Amino acid sequence: MNPIATRSRLREVRYEIRGQLARRARELEAGGRELIKLHIGNPGVFGFRAPDHLQEAVSSRLWESDPYTHQQGMPAAREAVAAHHRARGVAGASAEKVFIGNGVSELIDIALRALLDPGDEVLLPAPDYPLWSAATILNEGVPRYYACEAGNGFLPDPDAIEALVTPRTRALVLINPNNPTGASYPRALLERLVDIARRHGLVLMADEIYEGILYDGAAFEPLAPIATEVPCLSFGGLSKVHRACGWRVGWALLSGDPVRSGDYHHAMDLLGALRLCANVPGQHAVEAALGGPNTIDALCAPGGRLYETRRAAIEACAASPHLDLVAPQGALYAFPRVVGEAARDFDDHAFALALLENEGVLIVPGTSFNITDRRHFRITLLPEAEVMREVFRRIGRALDAHAGR
Ligand code: PLP
C-alpha cells in the first residue's frame, strides 16, 4: 500500500526552528553529546521560572479549573487584558473584545482563518516569525513579504509596504518588538502603517508578545492606541514577558472601528467555540500577570540576566571580523550577519549543521525566517552571559574555518 498522502499545502509550510537541525541535535544527545541549544526562545529551559505570584494564582485556583470557560476566555482574564489596554490609551477596550487562546500561536491561526478566503494576501515582515507565514499558507492565503533590512535597523519602509498592496490584500502584520531581529518600532513608523491600513481597508495585526522586553531605554509603542479607526488585533501572552510558555496562554484584543469589525469578531468567536476554550489553569494567571508587579524590567536593565547576555553577544560580534550585529533593542534574540571573507559562499543551513556537528551549538539559519539573504542566523539571548561568550568562541572558530583562516 502507498504511504498515506498528507495535505499538499503542507509542502509549502516550514517551521525550521523545530526542524531537521533540532532532530539532528536530539540524535547527537542520544549518543551522549552535550550541546548548547540556542534555537528556541523557551525561558524555562534556561532556568527562568514564572514569577511566584503567577505560580500562586494558578496553583490556588487549580481546584476551580475543571469546567470549560467561555470560548473567548474567562471573564477575569479578559477584563485584565482589557484594563491593560485601557491603561495605555485604548479607550474602547472591553472584555467582550478580548480573546484568550492556547498561546498567541493558536490566536494567530484563528485570526487568519477567520479572515482569509483563498488567494487573499497578507503583508508579512521578512524576516518573519515563521508561524505567521505558515498560518497564512495553511489558511489558503498568500504571504506578501515586506523587507526589514539590517541596513535600516531592521525597520520596514512604509512606501515599500504600500507598493505591495493589491485588491486582494487583507491584513498587515507587524511584530514589535521583533523576533528575530530585535527591532523596536518607533511611533512615527507605526503611524505610517496605520495610515496605510486605513486607506486600503486592511486589518492590522500587531504581534506584541515581547512587549515588555526592551533594552537600553528603547520604548515600546503599542499599536492599538494609534489605530483608533482601523480594525486592529493586538496579541500578547504569558510565554515571554512572564516566562510561562508551557502554560499556553495568549490573548488578543480586537480594537478600532467596531462597525467594520463586527462580523470579524463573530467569525473569531465561532472558531474559538469550535475548539471550546483555552487551557483553564493558565487563564488564572492572566490577572496576576497584568495586575501584579513588573518582573521583566530588572532582567533587561544593566546587571540583569538578559541585559548582560545581550551585552556579551553585542561585544562578541563587535570583536569578530566575521560578524555584524544590529544591537537588538528588544525581544529575546540576536540576528547577526556574516560579513567579509567568511561571507563568501556562505550558506546558513550548511553553517548551522557544521556548527552543530563540530562545535555542539544549535542555532537557527536566517532563511528559516523567510528571507533570501543566506548570511544571517538567530540565537536566543536566554542563556547566562558566560555561555553566550563560549557560543561566540565556537562560532568564531567555525567562521574562521569557513573563511580559510
Ligand atoms: N509570536 C512571536 C513573534 C513569537 O516569537 C512566538 C513564540 O516564540 C509566538 C508568537 C508564539 O507564542 P505562544 O507561546 O504565545 O504561542
Secondary structure in 3-state letters for the chain: CCCCCCCHHHHHCCCHHHCHHHHHHHHHHHCCCCCEECCCCCHHHHCCCCCHHHHHHHHHHHHHCCCCCCCCCCHHHHHHHHHHHHHCCCCCCCHHHEEEECHHHHHHHHHHHCCCCCCCEEEEEECCCHHHHHHHHHCCCEEEEEEECHHHCCCECHHHHHHCCCCCEEEEEEECCCCCCCCCCCHHHHHHHHHHHHHHCCEEEEECCCCCCECCCCCCCCCCCCCCCCCEEEEEECCCCCCCHHHCCEEEEEECCCCCCHHHHHHHHHHHHHCCCCCHHHHHHHHHHHHCCCCCHHHHCCCCHHHHHHHHHHHHHHHCCCEECCCCCECCEECCEECHHHHCCCCHHHHHHHHHHHHCEECEEHHHHCCCCCCEEEEECCCCHHHHHHHHHHHHHHHHHHHCC
For residue 239, the ligand 1 atom closest to its alpha carbon is: 14
Which listed CATH number (3.40.640.10, 3.40.50.2300, 1.10.1130.10, 3.30.360.10) goes with 52-291? 3.40.640.10
Distance 103 CA to ligand 1 centre (A): 7
Distance 358 CA to ligand 1 centre (A): 30
At residue 258, the pLDDT reads 87
Closest-CA residue, ligand 1 atom 8, reads 41
At residue 257, the pLDDT reads 86
Stretches in the chain below the pLDDT threshold 50? none
pTM (2 decimals)? 0.97
At residue 17, the pLDDT reads 85
Q: Is the peptide bond before 177 cis (omega within 30 degrees of 0)?
A: yes
CATH class of domain segment(s) 8-49+298-403:
alpha beta
16, 102, 129, 238: which to mutate for ligand 1, most atoms within 8 A of CB?
129
Domain locations in the chain?
8-49+298-403, 52-291
For residue 238, the ligand 1 atom closest to its alpha carbon is: 15
Has the ipTM of the complex gone over 0.90? yes
Distance 321 CA to ligand 1 centre (A): 33
17, 105, 184, 243: which to mutate for ligand 1, most atoms within 8 A of CB?
105
For residue 237, the ligand 1 atom closest to its alpha carbon is: 15
Residues with CB under 6 A from ligand 1: 41, 103-105, 129, 175, 179, 207, 209, 237, 239, 245, 250
At residue 404, the pLDDT reads 80
Distance 158 CA to ligand 1 centre (A): 24
At residue 202, the pLDDT reads 98
At residue 273, the pLDDT reads 97
Distance 32 CA to ligand 1 centre (A): 31
Distance 259 CA to ligand 1 centre (A): 29
State how far the Cα of 165 lies from the Cα of 306, in Å rounded to an integer.
Answer: 38
Tens of pLDDT, residue by residue over 286-317, are 999 999 999 999 999 999 999 999 999 999 99
C-alpha distances in Å from residue 316, one per residue of 11, 14, 320, 328, 374:
38, 30, 6, 14, 21
For residue 41, the ligand 1 atom closest to its alpha carbon is: 8
102, 124, 209: which to mutate for ligand 1, most atoms within 8 A of CB?
209
Distance 179 CA to ligand 1 centre (A): 9
Distance 236 CA to ligand 1 centre (A): 9
Distance 127 CA to ligand 1 centre (A): 15
Distance 210 CA to ligand 1 centre (A): 9
Report whether 282 contacts 276 (CB < 8 A): no
42, 45, 104, 379: which to mutate for ligand 1, most atoms within 8 A of CB?
104
